[in-house]
């Protein structure tokens, strides 16, 4: 085994930053193996800082991609919420009127579990509970429409006043 000191500029990929210790070894037959060991601690420190910076950049990109409460609509949070929307009243022979109404929107708890063995029968092996965002109370919204012959027609609509999570039911209407 022999050890020579060569300027780093003589080795590909090292540039002229420092000197490198080159160790030549004979390995089974006439095969020469080259080992390079940098003498400069600057490269080690630079590589460590590079890893730290890359880690911080990746962490910040990940954290910025997470949804936050600031980016969500209020109704996207758990629970059932009152939301507004615009409705258009149209009656033939009258001017159309746009007005505000309320509805309920949100997310309520639902789940499905295996039924107790004693209650299982046929295909009924699950117990499911589903809660849906539902209107709890309503109020009337009265809309006046200007019609032909200076007639004013009054139309009443029901609008949500409050919302709640309630057992889901199949709408029969």
Beta carbons of 37 and 21 less than 8 angstroms apart:
yes
Q: How many domains does the chain have?
A: 2
For 35, the domain range is 2-65
Together in a domain, 83 and 163: yes
The pLDDT of residue 8? 46
- pTM value is 0.49
The answer on 92 and 39 residing in a single domain is: no
Q: What is the CATH number of the domain that holds 106?
A: 2.10.90.10
Q: How far is CA 38 from the centre of its chain?
A: 46
pLDDT at 17: 44
CB 88 within 8 A of CB 98: yes
Q: What is the end-to-end Cα distance of the chain in Å, rounded?
A: 92
Helical H segments across 29-105, by residue range: 41-65
Asked if residue 56 and residue 78 are part of one domain, the reply reads no
Instruction: Report how far residue 68's alpha carbon sits from residue 63's, in angstroms, rounded to the nearest whole number.
Output: 10
Residue 173 lies in a domain: no
Same domain, 30 and 81: no
Is residue 145 within 8 A of residue 156, CB to CB? The reply is: no
Tens place of pLDDT for every residue, the chain, 173 residues? 444 444 444 445 444 444 444 444 444 444 444 444 454 555 566 667 767 777 777 767 666 655 555 566 666 678 899 999 999 999 999 999 999 999 999 989 888 888 777 766 776 677 788 899 999 999 999 999 999 999 999 999 999 999 999 988 766 55
Strands (E) located in 90-125? 97-107, 110-114
Asked if residue 111 and residue 59 are part of one domain, the reply reads no
| CA atoms of 62 and 68, how far apart (whole Å) | 12
């Amino acid at each position: 085994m022999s050890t020579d000191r060569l300027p780093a500029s003589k080795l590909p990929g090292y540039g002229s930053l420092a000197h490198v210790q080159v160790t030549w070894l004979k390995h089974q037959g006439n095969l020469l193996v080259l080992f390079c060991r940098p003498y400069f601690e600057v490269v080690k420190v630079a590589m460590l800082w590079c890893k730290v910076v890359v880690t911080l950049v990746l962490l910040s990109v990940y954290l910025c991609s997470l949804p936050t409460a600031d980016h969500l609509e209020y109704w996207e949070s758990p629970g059932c919420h009152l939301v507004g929307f615009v409705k258009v009243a149209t009656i033939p022979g009258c001017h159309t009127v746009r007005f505000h109404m309320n509805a309920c929107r949100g997310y309520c708890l639902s789940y499905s579990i295996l039924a107790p063995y004693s209650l299982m029968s046929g295909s009924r092996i699950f117990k499911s509970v589903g809660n849906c965002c539902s209107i709890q109370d309503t109020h009337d919204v009265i809309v006046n429409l200007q019609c032909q012959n200076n007639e004013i027609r009054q139309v009443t609509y029901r609008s949500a006043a409050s919302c709640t999570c309630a057992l889901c039911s199949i709408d029969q209407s």
